[in-house]
Structure 1
């Protein structure tokens, strides 16, 4: 894996940028994420931006587009061919417990599963297809897909950019970092909702006193 990553960093800039798009795009659409997590390409894109070989804005656009488009393709593939594909993929490549976990996540969280699944490698490759198989409404899927893809891709590009030559430390702990990002996002949403709730309560109390 180390030689592969070093090889990507030595590629011509246009080809490296293509991989920043393709690795997350193929993760769910072609189940590549089962063997090669898409965040590797995204992190390396940030490293290349740090080395001034690629513009940071171009890396961000490529990574986000790859994440969103790839999961959308995965949704449609799952909707049309999901059962057939699952039956043909060997268990040593696609672990049954990962499939069960993805199905349970969809059943329990619905559209939110698309966002939540984005931050763990096993679910990221499977949840879009499972969402298509479960006939989750595409509009709901797309909204959570865009939100999750944008947050995930931006976070890992910036991590790669800040890490620079120390990117391998991040790559080894990418899944844990993804979970930490998810916890941070959820905590942020919970805090905002509580503040909004308290603000409404204060307004209601103020209105009651005026009355």
Structure 2
């Protein structure tokens, strides 16, 4: 499913890109949707579209950061309100070992886990809810959440942007190189044809002269 979503995103342009990328990032962060929603990949693809001039890279980065911080805040609030019951939902039953690893990571790192979790897909989906479940002060959560969201959002948007721009330049250079190569091959082929034609004409003339001399002496 991720590849189909991002493939569909790659076919969009204009303001729709902002909305789709923001929705994917928000859903990935809000509550456990990181299992099925490729938010990070969508950001890179959106950045690549910006590199091709489809959207503004800075507006996209701003939208991504806002969606990331808001999504984590929603995940925090849901975790605070509904508590440990969330850890027993069906999508998590096949990932109990990873859930426990996320809980241990949060216990060891505390508020720093909110920041560091932003850069790991599974933790990105889990840590906000765990912060809410643990009763972390929202002000503390928001500071580390915003810091992580800012660095992650801008960083991955620019990553996609530079990849997209570099691809465009490479594509342009490859196009020019291909044209130059084609022209070179055409020139060489023409010169070889002229040389072969010249040799054929010269050999034909030489053969005709030899036949004339042979016929004369006969």
TM-score by length of 2: 0.71
Q: Which residue of 1 aligns with 2:136?
A: 136
Cα deviation for residue 91 of structure 1 reads 4.2
Contact 1:28–1:129 (Cα < 8 Å) also in 2: no
- Decide which moves more: 15-24 or 122-131: 15-24
Q: Which residue of 1 aligns with 2:96?
A: 96
Does residue 1:147 correspond to 2:147, yes or no?
yes
CA spacing shift, 1:88–1:6, aligned 2, 3 Å: closer
Task: Map residues 1-211 of structure 1 onto 2, 5 A cutoff.
Answer: 1-91=2-92, 95-164=95-164
RMSD: 1.8
Query: Mind listing any 5+ residue stretches in structure 2 that lack a counterpart?
Result: 168-218
TM-score by length of 1: 0.73
Aligned equivalents of 1:59 and 1:155: distance in 2? 12
Aligned equivalents of 1:166 and 1:3: distance in 2? 24
Aligned equivalents of 1:90 and 1:69: distance in 2? 22
CA spacing shift, 1:90–1:32, aligned 2, 3 Å: closer
Aligned equivalents of 2:71 and 2:150: distance in 1? 13
Aligned equivalents of 1:144 and 1:29: distance in 2? 16
Query: Mind listing any 5+ residue stretches in structure 1 that lack a counterpart?
Result: 168-211
Q: Which whole-Å deviations, capped at 9, do the CAs of 1:6-58 have from their partners, x for residues lacking one?
A: 21111242221112211111112132112223101111110111111101111
CA spacing shift, 1:33–1:26, aligned 2, 3 Å: same
Aligned equivalents of 2:5 and 2:21: distance in 1? 14
Q: Which whole-Å deviations, capped at 9, do the CAs of 1:123-172 have from their partners, x for residues lacking one?
A: 110000000000011111000000000001111101101111889xxxxx
- Decide which moves more: 74-83 or 143-152: 74-83
Aligned equivalents of 1:20 and 1:131: distance in 2? 25
Aligned equivalents of 2:157 and 2:28: distance in 1? 17
Q: Which whole-Å deviations, capped at 9, do the CAs of 1:107-136 have from their partners, x for residues lacking one?
A: 111111100111110111000000000001
